[in-house]
Structure 1
Amino acid sequence: MTKFTNDQKLETITRYQNSSESIGEIAKSIGTYCSVVSNWIKQFEYHGLSAFEKSYTTYTTQFKMDVRTLSGNSKEEQLQLNLSIISHILFMGV
């Protein structure tokens, strides 16, 4: 299935709000299902522009590797990694 940008989603919602086209017609014209367009509309009505903002945190590859190896290290190394994780979370504001 095609991925849509936030701008494309907002354009689709605006198109629905400002025209007499049905959700089905719009969905077909952009190559997706009615339920997808309907969900975008509901999300937008409930959350506004923030509906399509990413809600997850991106971590660096090194940080992920440090976390994965945490369980196989000595207590001293685990403590050092724990401190690294805590400082990363504080720095990133997570």
Structure 2
Amino acid sequence: MNYFLLITTRTNKFNADDIKGHYDHLEQLKKEGALEKYGPFSDGTGGAYLIKAASLEEATKIGDLDPLIQNGSSTLTIKEWLLR
């Protein structure tokens, strides 16, 4: 398994109603053993979460299921992180 950092950045279409679904998504990832860490940025522009996935393609599928992304509240940037 590899580590991927999923960075969410709020758009001008951000809807606070999408936050509950976002946290539900993270809780599901936690139950599946894929989620390592997560949290919002202190400046309120978005947040990030660290997951384990087999590939960039799998990480992208996971990120695309996030309601923040599906509903256009945030954009998503994914980076494979070579943790030491």
Q: Please, what TM-score do these two structures have when normalized by structure 2?
A: 0.29
User: Structure 1 or 2: larger strand share?
Assistant: 2
User: Structure 1 or 2: larger helix share?
Assistant: 1
Which structure is higher in RCO with an 8 Å CA cutoff and minimum separation 6?
2
